[in-house]
Amino acid sequence: MNKVGLIAGSGRFPILFAEEARRMGVEVVALGLKGVTDPKLEKLVSKLHVFKLGQIDKPIKALKEDGVSRAVMAGKVQHASLFGGVLPDLRAAKLLARLPDRRTDTILRAVADEFSKDGIELLSSVTYLSHLLVPEGPFTARKPGASESADLKLGWRAAKAVAGFDIGQTVVVKDGAVIAVEAMEGTDACVLRARDLARSQGKRPELAVVKVAKPNQDLRFDIPVIGMDTLKVFAESSVSALGIEAGSALIFDKEHFIAQANSQKLAVLGMKEAPCP
């Protein structure tokens, strides 16, 4: 594969993908979203086409004209944007009109089908980035204590249930109670909400966070990721333990992430199933 398309949302994900693809000698043709995609991406790809959120037809045609038959979707697009400020093109409007619901997976699978109709196959978002997958077991200097392990166990069960309904993939737990569940606001906002709830009771948070893949996770889109920005939120929120699903989630800037987690004395556990307390 010497040419690949990149459908780029926000954040580090598209940047890391483009850097790794270039390192491997693969030409990248990117589709960016105006006001969403990091402008730095342009220097890492052979071509960057920028479109408005809601356009589908012109982006597909742009990739086809550049001879792209395979593409990767990477980066965030806020789901809440569907409720205002987006003017879909005719193809996108028809797509939205026939959807049974507006869940993330429903929308993204429909978008993937539109690309496929025009001969563009969406690949796994882990393409070229498998070295960033979360390993199983503890991978920071400090391991979860007994109470943290109990909270991670509860968090795992709760997060898997919520993810099964395509609501969110993160929950925050404290002292055996689920404090917050992620919805459209994203992981960082969910953690900050949990912090504020805990502090409203006059307590020091010491929160446990669990982030999982969805049951039958489609690796082409919306896979769980975590990176340096989230560690800053964890430090502000006194998060003491993180459980993240091993083999189905990515850690961006992995070495720096682990070093910073160690300096924060954060216990991080790659989970395949709920740990025993």
What is the secondary structure of 166-196 as a DSSP string? TS-SEEEEETTEEEEE--TT-HHHHHHHHHH
- Average pLDDT for the chain: 92
State whether 83 and 8 are in the same domain: yes
User: Is the overall model pTM greater than 0.75, yes or no?
Assistant: yes
* pLDDT > 90 in the chain, percent: 79
State whether 97 and 166 are in the same domain: no
State whether 167 and 203 are in the same domain: yes
The rounded distance, in Å, linking the Cα atoms of 216 and 196 is: 33
State whether 143 and 242 are in the same domain: yes
For residue 1, the model assigns a pLDDT of 61
Strand, coil or helix: 220: coil
State whether 107 and 29 are in the same domain: yes
* pLDDT > 70 in the chain, percent: 95
Question: Which class for 255: exposed (0-12), middle (13-18), buried (19 or more C-beta within 10 A)?
Answer: exposed
Half-sphere exposure of 80 (CA within 13 A, CB side): 5
Per the structure, the count of domains in the chain is 2
Answer whether residue 103 shows pLDDT above 80.
Answer: yes
Among 97, 122, 147, residue at a domain's last position: 122
For residue 203, the model assigns a pLDDT of 67
Answer whether residue 78 shows pLDDT above 80.
Answer: no
Q: Is residue 276 part of a domain?
A: no
Q: Is residue 17 part of a domain?
A: yes
Instruction: Report yes or no: 119 and 69 within 8 Å, Cβ to Cβ.
Output: yes
pLDDT, tens only, 203-251:
677 999 999 999 888 999 889 999 999 999 999 999 999 999 999 999 9
pLDDT, tens only, 153-200:
999 999 999 999 989 999 999 999 999 999 888 899 999 999 999 888
The rounded distance, in Å, linking the Cα atoms of 251 and 256 is: 10
For residue 80, the model assigns a pLDDT of 52
For residue 57, the model assigns a pLDDT of 94
For residue 277, the model assigns a pLDDT of 45
Q: Is residue 128 part of a domain?
A: no
For residue 185, the model assigns a pLDDT of 87
Which residue range is the domain that position 159 belongs to? Answer: 133-271
For residue 85, the model assigns a pLDDT of 55
State whether 140 and 118 are in the same domain: no
Helix axis angle, 228-236 to 254-263, nearest 10°: 10
pLDDT, tens only, 208-221:
999 999 988 899 98
Among 103, 122, 141, residue at a domain's last position: 122
Where residue 8 falls among pLDDT bands split at 50, 70, 90?
very high
State whether 94 and 140 are in the same domain: no
CATH of the domain at 28: 3.40.50.20
Answer whether residue 74 shows pLDDT above 70.
Answer: yes
State whether 172 and 53 are in the same domain: no
Instruction: Report yes or no: 122 and 71 within 8 Å, Cβ to Cβ.
Output: yes
State whether 70 and 146 are in the same domain: no
